[in-house]
Amino acid sequence: MKQFTWKSAISVNTWTLKILGLWPGAELYKLNKYTFYMIFVILLNNSHILFQAANVVNAYQDLKALSTMIFSLFTKLLTSAKMLMFIWKSRTLQRFISQMESEEFRPRNHQQVIMAQSLLKAWKMIYFLFSVLVWSSVSLRTFYPVLDGTVKDHNLPFPAWYPYDHKTSPFYQITYLHQVICYWISGTATANTDTFIAALMMCIGTQCDILSDNLRNLTNCGNDGEFNKKLVDCVEHHKKIVRFATECNSFFNEIVLAQFLVSSVSLALTMFEVTVVEPLSIECFSIMGYVSSVFVQIFQYCWFGEEVEARLAIYDQVKYFHIKSRSAMAKFDWKLKIKINITMLKLVGLWPKDNDRYGLNMYSFYTLVMTIFFFAHNFFQTANIVFITDLQELVANLFIVFSEWLVAFKVVCFVRNMRVLKMLAAELDSDEFQPKNEEQKILVEPALRQWRMNYVMFAVPASITVSLWNVFPILDGTVKDHRLPFSAWYPYDFKSSPFYQITYIYQVISIWYMGVTDVNMDLFLAALMMYTTAQCQILCHTLKNLYNVPDFGKKLIDCIKHHKKIVRFATNSNVFFDEMILGQFFTSAASLALTMFQLTVVNPFTSEGYSVMFFGSTVTVQIFFYCWFGQEVEVKVGCLLVLKYHVSGVTVESRLGNVSLEINC
């Protein structure tokens, strides 16, 4: 197996920090050229901040100019503080890298490498997204005078005071270049210091995954000597994780606190700034780019913090020694309970027959044709946005286009992860996932009933919305003018017959494909969460009845294996739909905002008004059932943890002695 190293995994981040003078490497800061380079970069950047701060005295009477300077100044001051913190704590940072490269922190097998790469992939994606947004915002801001023509008046990108006349040549050109260089330094430093902190949190989360996997594999030890050695290794690994997390928190706690405070103030000032600038001007776009950067900046802290919490929760569930076993039970067809869901997925090309996967067969060809058919519809609608100049029409198109591309993204995820889906479906048929008796079948029925109710609640408004969209030109009479249900660009004259009728039918089929696909993919994700909830209920019921069974040891072993299967099922489910849910929440938030705006400009009692309202209700239900079933999983896991500790602390000690082993570090 190729050796995995954390240093190479985040090499782009550390390389960029090195360019900024913030990463001296193992040598630290000494009397050398790199230290002088670092001092030069810090003085250059801080001189720009000083000249901007001095200008606040001259602009305090102009509220617009003052707000423009302050939100930019706050961000730069925070970035300067982060740079100084990185320099001051350079020894600590190098110690972090050494700990990350230690033997305990490295994945030990291919499965653990996959675990590490899963979270690393999310970090790289956020690193790229944050960097692009920051650089776009910086580019727009630094070239703003050139783009709006005020460079002729010798205007600078940022208002600042200088002890010389900066409007005369060559001082203007030198000062302009100084501001551009400093702002690029500040933007790049912001992106890379924040993502390095996120990388530390990513490493902590991954270490919890690796430790959990090592604990699960304790059951495969051949003898007591091997078990004891591996158990001691796990204890040492746990101690290192705790020490590493504590040191990381002490390093970035103050930075994160300052980041949230400054981001809140900057966002408030930016929202004010948006109200006083021209909506579609270069200045407006630069502000929007800045806002997007701040949102991603805050999001990455929240995302990776939550990932650490989630990993700790999983680790907490497996920190007891588990023993493998097999138990016989009656068959219960879980997939039959969501037969309508699977049938609809099969209809749209997203569920190959039985345990088959995509290959060189007719069904794969059918899936390819349907996907291209739908993607072409998205492309023609997206291409039309270029020709729209009216804000109302732009909003009316955007909230639909956002939703359509999200569905396209989900389709790609479904097809790409079909192997995982089939594996999850196969696990549902395993013996461990079967109810043990009729009482347990009755116990899981409410969860199944709730899922079916959510299916109807989501499918009905989605169907009504799609139907209204499809017949809207007929209802308002614009079909006479050869109007299509959706504005789109086509490389032919679609208003002439028979192209109009063919295009109309094409749009109807495409939007129905989108609706059916979206509903059934989302409900399938909800079904996975529902299955996790049901399995927790079954396991809780079995644990409660351990007191009254004669073959206690065998039943306990059955529970342990069932618990391991649930954890594996939940983990694989999360790997499958994490990206999809992230995209869903982002797109739903944007679509709801655009929908609310659309409601203010359409007649509420027209077919268009009703379709917009039903779309809003559909998106709300869509978000609701993710939250509902996610919360159900949290509640059932919480009940399971309480019961597990009770059984471990009382029943096991009284009846099996050393079967359960708690790791205390």
Of all helices (H) and strands (E), which one includes residue 12?
helix 11-19
* Segments forming the whole domain that contains residue 520: 335-655
User: What is the token pair recorded at 528?
Assistant: 């996975």
For residue 563, being part of any structural domain is answered with yes
Beta bridge partners of 662: 320
Same domain, 292 and 351: no
Cα separation, 379 vs 599, in Å, equals: 26
Same domain, 577 and 443: yes
Q: Is 27 exposed, middle or buried (0-12, 13-18, 19+ CB in 10 A)?
A: exposed
- Kindly report the number of other CB atoms within 10 A of residue 626's CB atom: 19
pLDDT in tens, 202-233: 888 888 888 888 877 776 666 767 777 888 88
pLDDT value at residue 275: 65
Cα separation, 157 vs 187, in Å, equals: 14
For the range 610-615, what are the long-range contacts, defined as Cβ-Cβ under 8 Å and sequence gap of 24 or more?
Answer: 610/468, 611/465, 611/468, 611/469, 611/472, 614/461, 614/464, 614/465, 614/468, 615/399, 615/465, 615/591
Three-state DSSP class for 373? helix
Candidates 659, 553, 561; CA nearest to 321 is 659
For residue 153, being part of any structural domain is answered with yes
Return the axis-axis angle of helices 391-416 and 499-544, rounded to nearest 10°: 50
**448 φ/ψ angles, rounded to the nearest 5 degrees:** -65, -40
Candidates 8, 16, 7, 176; CA nearest to 83 is 16
Q: Which residues of 342-361 are buried (b: 16+ CB within 10 A; e: fewer)?
A: bebbeebbbbbeeeeebeee
pLDDT value at residue 512: 87
Candidates 158, 187, 190; CA nearest to 70 is 158
Cα separation, 299 vs 341, in Å, equals: 33
pTM: 0.49
For residue 665, being part of any structural domain is answered with no
Same domain, 430 and 306: no
User: What is the token pair recorded at 624?
Assistant: 């609701």
Three-state DSSP class for 359? coil
pLDDT in tens, 420-471: 888 888 888 887 888 877 778 878 888 888 788 878 877 887 888 788 778 8
**645 φ/ψ angles, rounded to the nearest 5 degrees:** -65, -40
pLDDT value at residue 41: 92
Three-state DSSP class for 398? helix
For 33-89, the DSSP string reads HHHHHHHHHHHHHHHHHHHHHHHHHHHTT-HHHHHHHHHHHHHHHHHHHHHHHHHHT
Give a three-class secondary structure readout of 331-351. Answer: CCCCHHHHHHHHHHHHHCCCC
Same domain, 423 and 313: no
Return the ∠ at Cα 433 (arms to 431 and 436), rounded to 5°: 80
Handedness of CA 391, 395, 397, 401 (dihedral sign): positive
Same domain, 266 and 200: yes
* Rg of the chain, C-alpha, whole Å: 29
For residue 322, being part of any structural domain is answered with no
For residue 586, being part of any structural domain is answered with yes
Candidates 181, 185, 204, 183; CA nearest to 193 is 185
Same domain, 309 and 345: no
Give the number of domains in the chain. Answer: 2
User: What is the token pair recorded at 317?
Assistant: 């569930």
Domain end, chosen from 259, 290, 317, is at 317
For residue 226, being part of any structural domain is answered with yes
pLDDT value at residue 533: 83
Same domain, 293 and 400: no
Same domain, 250 and 397: no
For residue 628, being part of any structural domain is answered with yes
Same domain, 167 and 215: yes
For residue 326, being part of any structural domain is answered with no
User: What is the token pair recorded at 143?
Assistant: 């070239």
Find out whether 374 and 406 touch, Cβ atoms under 8 Å: no
pLDDT value at residue 664: 34
Same domain, 393 and 540: yes
Same domain, 307 and 450: no
Q: Give the side-chain half-sphere CA count within 13 A for 448.
A: 15
Domain end, chosen from 284, 317, 350, is at 317
Cα separation, 20 vs 201, in Å, equals: 22
Look up residue 170 and give its amino acid: P
Give the residues of the chain that fall short of pLDDT 50. Answer: 1, 320-330, 648-665
Give a three-class secondary structure readout of 192-212. Answer: HHHHHHHHHHHHHHHHHHHHH
Look at the block and give the residue holding tokens 């700790």. Answer: 312
User: What is the token pair recorded at 12?
Assistant: 């782009």
Cα separation, 462 vs 467, in Å, equals: 9
Same domain, 474 and 523: yes
Query: From the DSSP assignment, how many helices (H) and strands (E) are in the chain?
Result: 19, 0
Domain end, chosen from 253, 283, 317, is at 317
User: What is the token pair recorded at 191?
Assistant: 């992106």
Return the ∠ at Cα 425 (arms to 419 and 431), rounded to 5°: 130
pLDDT in tens, 268-304: 766 666 666 676 666 677 777 777 777 777 777 777 7
